[in-house]
Amino acid sequence: MTSRMLKSWLSPLIAFVGMLVIGVVLDQFFNQYVQLIILFACTNIILALSLNLVNGFTGQFSIGHAVFMAIGAYVSAYLSLRPEIFGVKFTMFPEAIDYLNYLVYAVCGGLVAAAAGWVVGLPSLRLRGDYLAIVTLGFSEIIRVILLNTQAVGGARGLFGIPRPDALALGPLTLSPFLVMYVLASFWVVLTFLVLWRLIHSVHGRAFLSVREDEIAAQAMGINTTQVKVRAFVISSFFAGVAGSIFAHSANYLNPSTFGFTKSVDVIIMIVLGGMGSLSGSVVAALFITFLPEFVLRPLQEYTHIDFRMVIYSITLVLFMVLRPKGLFGSREISDIARSLRGERSADERAS
């Protein structure tokens, strides 16, 4: 029993510790610009992972993922700016353990986003086909316009002065504000990956896959397809909201224009590039999409003095899709690929 528990918790723990080591390196040797982009990358990883659950694993087509991120971001930012809302203190922890507040904000942002996901998903997921795409697109426009016209969150000017975690004193060590934010972000990245991975390899996850493969067959097997689809959508929305929260507290500024249609498309690009139905593919693609324009194309532009950043970016995407139409990993995971390189058969092959 204990060995099984150990087995299931050890690897996410190792990944988390690994990310922490990277965080310390980033904190010590890299400037704030690189650090900011890393935080954006964490946001994008969570977004891509969560969208993959809906688009990749459950076979639905949502094209308004940015709206759940927006909801999470604005809720989280608003909570952090107000000491008290409806008599409830959301900034509940004292300054010394300030970082716990950011977990509360993220969870609240995620929950509101999940509730929104439920409201949108319930009617549209009862239907089969492209309805979800249209509804999510419409919903994202509605929320964006509401945000634009709500003066309490800054309207078109945007919401600024969003706090970031303070430096954290741990005995003789002091963690910089970046490191605290990064630890929070990596915690959510690992948690998202873990939850989705476990979910997909569980009975519930098989139900997601069955809906993707053949809805009628799934129904015939006694699966409540609507319920399964809504469940996937709500979980996905929750994590998108969390991603929004991380974004809000790293950028410290929110503007409704950030969460437009292009942001949703960016996330879709990530999952298509990484492979629909591949979690590790989403991670790699999210990193690629975040880093390429900033760390490769910007220096290139500075060096050559020609602004063809977006041209190269687009060409890269086109080439990727021509050369690997199913994405980097297809529906396989990095572990499957590693295993096949070692000449072993995958778990699925063994089962058959």
- Residues found near other proteins in the complex (CB under 8 A): 7, 10-12, 14-15, 18-19, 21-22, 25-26, 29-34, 36-38, 40-41, 45, 145, 148-149, 155-158, 160-161, 189-190, 193-194, 197, 247, 251-255, 257-258, 279-280, 283-284, 287, 291, 294-296, 298-299, 301-302, 307, 309-310, 333-335, 338-339, 342, 344
Strand 173-175, strand 168-170: pairing: antiparallel
Residue number, 224 or 262, with CB nearest to other proteins: 262
* Least Å from the CB of residue 14 to other proteins: 6
Joined tokens for residue 97: 């353990």
* Least Å from the CB of residue 100 to other proteins: 24
* Least Å from the CB of residue 109 to other proteins: 17
Residue number, 124 or 245, with CB nearest to other proteins: 245
Q: Return the amino acid letter for 102.
A: Y
Contacts of 12 (CB under 8 A, 6+ apart): 190, 191, 193, 194
Contacts of 347 (CB under 8 A, 6+ apart): none
Residue number, 225 or 250, with CB nearest to other proteins: 250
Residue number, 126 or 295, with CB nearest to other proteins: 295
Residue number, 127 or 295, with CB nearest to other proteins: 295
The DSSP 8-state label assigned to residue 253 in this structure reads E
Residue number, 225 or 282, with CB nearest to other proteins: 282
* Least Å from the CB of residue 12 to other proteins: 6
HSE (CB half, 13 Å, CA atoms) of 247? Answer: 30
Joined tokens for residue 181: 């934010």
d(CA 277, CA 21): 29
Residue number, 121 or 256, with CB nearest to other proteins: 256
- C-alpha torsion sign, points 226, 228, 233, 238: positive
* Least Å from the CB of residue 53 to other proteins: 15
* Least Å from the CB of residue 15 to other proteins: 4
d(CA 261, CA 184): 27
* Least Å from the CB of residue 203 to other proteins: 18
* Least Å from the CB of residue 128 to other proteins: 32
Residue 338, classified by CB atoms within 10 Å of its CB into exposed (0-12), middle (13-18) or buried (19+), is: exposed
The DSSP 8-state label assigned to residue 259 in this structure reads G
The DSSP 8-state label assigned to residue 154 in this structure reads T
End-to-end CA distance of the chain: 27
Residue number, 119 or 156, with CB nearest to other proteins: 156
Contacts of 145 (CB under 8 A, 6+ apart): none
- C-alpha torsion sign, points 69, 70, 71, 75: positive
Task: Write out the DSSP string of 33-75.
Answer: HHHHHHHHHHHHHHHHHHHIIIIIIS------HHHHHHHHHHH
Q: Return the amino acid letter for 191.
A: L
Residue number, 170 or 342, with CB nearest to other proteins: 342
Would you say 54 and 233 are in contact if contact means Cβ atoms under 8 Å apart? yes
